Amino acid sequence: MIYSTNCISFYTMRFASLSTVQKYLQRTIADATEGVMFLERTNRLLAGLGNPQNALKVLHVAGTSGKGSTVKIAASLLESHGLTVGMTVSPHLYNVTERVQINGISITEEDFCRSLERVAVVADEMEQEAIGTPSHFEITAALAFLVFADHGVDYAVIETGLGGRWDATNCITRPDKVGLITHIGFDHMHILGETLPEIAGEKAGIIQEGNHIFVTEQGEEILNVLRSAAHKKDATCHIVSTPENITYDESGTAGMISDVQYSTSLIGEHQAANVALALTAVQYIAKRDGVKWDRYAARDALMKIQIPCRFSISQYRDKTVVCDGAHNPQKVQALIKTFANVFPEKNAHIIFAAKHKKDTNSMLESLSILTDRITFPKISVDEQDFSITMHDPVELAQKAQSHGFTSAKEASSISHALKKIPNDVEIVLVCGSLYLASQAYLLCGGSDV
């Protein structure tokens, strides 16, 4: 689906299609170690566009695990109250327009192309300056702010790309910004730091003067960093308790949040925590801004949420297939717990791929609890925000054998991997990379966003 408005119907000559958009963005792939330059370039880019982000009421979401789900949950809850809500998504799974959505629907290719033309004019000016050309993520983030301001959304729910402090989305400095910080764990350690307090400090960088910040309950060494960061900015930090009496199966998850029973179509204990975080923040916003809270509308919205590749259950021939984008040790641990509870004692087979620099040893060691059979397909990936290099399937197969997998094979593609699943396998788990999971999801009949 696409979101369209009554705008002038024309494509620019420069960006006449998404193929021309992709070629333009491909030349602006960033070096993930650039740090401060992400934010400096974005601020310069947005200034050239008239600072559209300053016109928006924003919910800003950071964290290691659960960001994408929390963004979608918060946006859905706001939409259920009759509000117009902009939402950013990264990375995109199938189409770059997914990155900019209004009320859960991607903007049209025409709107994307026309808005990119405006952003590119400023980006071209920057190319001649010392600050240099903005990156893929910086350009699409600026484009989202521009589109949301043009359409006059009531709220924008914005997901950080990497970290927080120097992230391109951290140009949002209004005191009425509401921050949401999900579970923090080990990922991108070569950039964010080697310890949990260091990583938490980078995530805490989204906190601005006077903000209200909502944080998922987690380890004290993390919470202390976030509380301290909020105190320094005269911001208010709210710790959101883990829901009680959580139950889940393949139809969804239920739990008690502030003494009220809620259910969601999303599956897993970790999703209950994401719901609690988003729900608490949106209830605060509703009270602050005079939006009448409708518990029944909220409950209905939570049951209708669908997010591709978050424990998505589908079929491939006679096999049940679970596609999940878990790509770091913390996410894989949550996935394993969910999988073992929803599909206990099933004869399983894993299909796995991962980006270079991911902690594949930890992930493979954890996954060996579920089965001793695994396949590593070769997958092609379009580079998006950063240069992407996938782990070599041959090397992964060798690693897997050292972690207890008795059958560790390579495959030429995800399609080949699915076709070669042994007959006695009852269920297939596809994980390790959101790019891998999204390709499998489409092959198994899942729809794009």
Per-residue pLDDT of 397-442, as tens digits, reads: 999 999 999 999 999 999 999 999 999 999 999 999 999 999 999 9
SS3 86: strand
Indicate whether 28 pLDDT > 80: no
Per-residue pLDDT of 55-91, as tens digits, reads: 999 999 999 999 999 999 999 999 999 999 999 998 8
What lies within 8 Å, CB to CB, of 238 at 6+ separation is 212, 213, 214, 215, 280, 284
pLDDT bucket at 300, cuts 50 / 70 / 90: very high
Token pair listed for 232? 């320094």
Long-range contacts from 116-122, C-beta under 8 angstroms, 24+ separation: 116/15, 116/21, 116/24, 116/143, 117/12, 117/14, 117/15, 118/49, 118/146, 119/45, 119/49, 119/143, 119/146, 120/14, 120/15, 120/24, 121/48, 122/45, 122/48, 122/49
- Pairing status of strand 319-323 against strand 312-316: antiparallel
Token pair listed for 87? 């939402």
- Pairing status of strand 427-431 against strand 319-323: parallel
pLDDT of 1 reads 44
Question: Per-residue pLDDT averaged across 349-375, rounded?
Answer: 96
pLDDT of 36 reads 64
pTM > 0.85: yes or no: yes
Using CA atoms, how far apart are residues 339 and 331, in angstroms rounded to an integer? 12
Ranking 4-13, 173-182, 242-251, 305-314 by mean pLDDT, the lowest is 4-13
CB-based burial label for 108 (10 Å; 0-12, 13-18, 19+): middle
pLDDT of 7 reads 43
Per-residue pLDDT of 134-170, as tens digits, reads: 999 999 999 999 999 999 999 999 999 988 999 999 9
pLDDT bucket at 2, cuts 50 / 70 / 90: very low
Using CA atoms, how far apart are residues 387 and 379, in angstroms rounded to an integer? 15
Give the percent of the chain with pLDDT over 70.
93
Gyration radius of the chain over CA positions: 21
Q: Are 177 and 58 in contact (CB under 8 A)?
A: yes
Using CA atoms, how far apart are residues 291 and 237, in angstroms rounded to an integer? 22
Cβ neighbours of 124 (radius 10 Å): 10
Domains and CATH numbers, the chain: 2-304 (3.40.1190.10), 312-443 (3.90.190.20)
Written as one letter, the residue type at 82 is G
